[in-house]
Structure 1
Amino acid sequence: MTYSAAAGRRLPRKTHKSSRRLVGILCVAATVAWVLSVMMGLSVTLQGPPHVIALSIHILALVLAFGAILLVDWHGFLWLIGKRELAETIRLDGAASPLIWSGTAVLLLTGAFLSPNLGNPWTLVKLGAVLVLMLNGIMLIPLMRRLVIKDPTTTFAGLPVGQRIHMLLCLAISQVCWWTAIVVGFVNAEF
């Protein structure tokens, strides 16, 4: 999600109501996409080369989305410890967001063709982690909107306590969910 055309540029404040509405709509859309992916996974079974192609695309989408997440989170950590400025972090987040969300969309699409075994509790853990990580990313939108309008040199310590807690919780949830989904996916994979 791009928050500004150029980092540090001041944008008009969005009302809390419009942010809540956007977050609500996006959460519903993400949940519907997730449910459709799971339902499709129950009804579609690919074997042979089509399965290998779907798995290959799935892994490439994982590299795309998770690689971008790691870069943004690392850069955010550097801002947190005072090694980068807020404007740089927002600019990088704006550039990486399309990669993260398109990679996640491709993961949902290709995951539907990998015949998830819903009888396996680890598969349910993975699927739950994927849903939570998508919703968590959406929950960052209001915070990022508030950060965009701050002075580009604002430090992490200069944020209100609530925003710092929000950011750290979202970071922790993101990392736990991504790593859970990845580890469970590879452990469950049948090569």
Structure 2
Amino acid sequence: MSAADVTASPHGPGREAELLRLPRWCGTTAVSLAVCAGWAATIWVALHLKADATLHTVALFTHLASLVLGFGAVLAIDYYGALWLMGRKTLREVLDFTAPLHVPVWLGLGGLLFSGAFLHPDLGSPLTCAKLVLVLVLSLNGVQASALHRRLGAADGEPVGRRLLVRSAATALVSQGAWWGALAIGFLNSQH
């Protein structure tokens, strides 16, 4: 039996690796579950740990810096996406520009979640609960946006179908709605 026969065999060494490869949705599901667990852990910390004045001040600064970092990156991504949807940028230009911005988005969002737990959120307030739901929505939308980015990257060079265009626009609308909603509620809560 030659090496070519082993490679061509359906039971050859490459076949096992192919069989062990999980579908892409498994990775997206795992990340989504991790996001939900992190969100729930943040709420648990907020309920069980009270920060002193110094920690509260540090958490507030971290919260604001994380907002600038995360939301600023999201605004840049969504702006470039809108330029693509309007035909003013190519898909390749948008993908190349936005790929490195996913890191500051997630760092900012993680910083917001972590620091927010030390800002004495009033979890009995309907506004605070609405904000927490918006944060979960934008986090899960971010997971979906990362998967969409990979899907668009795989379609590079080919015409993008209507379904991907609609998904891209919906992703941006959910992102902006959740970020601005959480920001507005955070501002309103800071006035009390």
State TM-score, norm by structure 1: 0.85
Q: Which has the higher helix share?
A: 2
Paired residue type of 1:88: E
Measured after TM superposition, the shift of residue 160 of structure 1 is 1.2
Q: What's the counterpart of residue 162 of structure 1?
A: 163
Q: Deviation per CA, 1:39-66: give whole Å up to 9, x if none.
A: 1001111132221110111010000000
Structure 1 segment 100-111 matched on structure 2, within 5 A? 100-111=105-116
Q: Deviation per CA, 1:60-119: give whole Å up to 9, x if none.
A: 000000000001100111111111111111112211000000111111111111121011
1:78 matches 2:79 = no
Q: What's the counterpart of residue 188 of structure 1?
A: 189
Q: What's the counterpart of residue 143 of structure 2?
A: 138
1: CA distance, partners of 2:126 / 2:156: 47
1:32 matches 2:37 = yes
Cα distance change of structure 1 residues 144 and 69 upon mapping to structure 2, 3 Å threshold: same
2: CA distance, partners of 1:122 / 1:151: 42
What runs of 5+ residues in structure 2 fail to find an aligned partner? 1-20
Structure 1 segment 15-164 matched on structure 2, within 5 A? 18-152=23-157, 158-164=159-165
Give the secondary structure class of the aligned counterpart of 1:140: helix
Q: Deviation per CA, 1:110-156: give whole Å up to 9, x if none.
A: 1111121011100001000000000011112332222112335x6xx
Paired residue type of 2:133: G
2: CA distance, partners of 1:151 / 1:19: 18
Higher relative contact order (CA 8 A, sep 6+): 1
State TM-score, norm by structure 2: 0.84
Paired residue type of 1:102: L
What runs of 5+ residues in structure 1 fail to find an aligned partner? 1-15
Give percent identity, aligned residues only: 33
Question: Quick check: which has more Rg, 1 or 2?
Answer: 2
Aligned pair count reads 172
Measured after TM superposition, the shift of residue 17 of structure 1 is 5.6
2: CA distance, partners of 1:68 / 1:57: 16
Give the secondary structure class of the aligned counterpart of 2:183: helix
Q: What's the counterpart of residue 173 of structure 1?
A: 174
